Amino acid sequence: MSDLEFFSNFPVSIKLVGLGGQGVVTAAAILARAAFQQGLWSQSMPFFGVERTGTPVEAYIKIGRQPIRDRQKIDQPDILLINDVKLFNRKQLGKFLTIVNQPEQQIVNQRIGYDSRQVSLDILGKDLAIGLLGGLAAVWPQISQEAWLRALKEHFTNQVLFEINTQAFQANFSLVEKLTKYQNGQAR
């Protein structure tokens, strides 16, 4: 296991990609909402091709201490989260961190791969991008647990949905935390 370097600057740009139906837009909105709950300014912009299940969807989340005015895509985001390994391209990585939902667990430089799908299928019955947020939270502690939970509660007004999505989030968090041997920003 290599030592993951922490990225703690603001503003930060995060790109989340997946296929239609994997909840990319929802996850991006929750991430941006969590940053807002943390007292930061955030913006979530989804981009899709044809509006149907199965086609690639990407969302850009920009977070900073000042209002963000730009609404463009970013060529190389600071953090890249990929919910479907079919969309992974080793020539296109996040500048500081990449997390890939893939069957094999591995850490290569600043790239983490782990099986988020298995966790999400168990809890949610679907391979949803919300899992990757849990993984992100484990290695990017800029947003507190309380902020994450408030964001999940605000977004999922249905109690059952809130519970299972939070479960999936926490399960992914624990998995990546163990994998990377980090806890609350400190190396164990």
Partner 1 sequence: MAKRDRQSIDEMMFLKGSAAIAELVSRVGPGVVAAYPITPQTGIIEYLAKLKISGQADYSFLQAESEHSALSMVLGAAAAGALSYTATSSQGMLHMIEIVYNLAGLRLPVVMTCANRSISAPINIWNDHQDAMAVRDAGWLMFFAENNQEAIEQHWLAFALSQQLNLPVMVNVDGFRLTHASEPVAMPSEKLISKIVKQRVKNLLEVNNPKTIGHFTMPIDYETQRLSLGQTIADSLVAIEKKYFELMKIWQPIKKELSGIKTIDKNDLATVEYYGPNKAKTVIVAMGSIVGELKDLADKTNKEIADSLAILKIKLYRPFPEQDVIKYLKNAQRVIVIDRAPGLGSQPPLFTDISSVTSHQVNARLVSLIIGLGGNVQLTELEKILK
Binding-site ranges for partner 1 (CB under 8 A):
28-29, 32-33, 36-37, 41-47, 51, 67-72, 154, 157
* Smallest separation (angstroms) from partner 1 to the CB of 139: 24
Distance CA 105, CA 85 (A): 12
Q: Is residue 115 within 8 Å of 103, Cβ to Cβ? A: yes
Question: Looking at this protein, which amino acid is placed at residue 96?
Answer: F
Task: Write phi, then psi, for 159 (nearest 5 degrees).
Answer: -60, -40
Helix, strand, or coil here: 182? strand
* Smallest separation (angstroms) from partner 1 to the CB of 125: 24
Our CB check for partner 1 shows the closer of 46 and 141 to be 46
**Of the candidates 78, 109, 111, which has an alpha carbon nearest to the alpha carbon of residue 96?**
78
| Helix runs in the chain, H state only | 24-37, 116-124, 130-139, 145-155, 159-180
Helix, strand, or coil here: 47? strand
* Smallest separation (angstroms) from partner 1 to the CB of 162: 12
* Smallest separation (angstroms) from partner 1 to the CB of 156: 11
* Smallest separation (angstroms) from partner 1 to the CB of 110: 27
Sign of CA dihedral 74, 89, 30, 54: positive
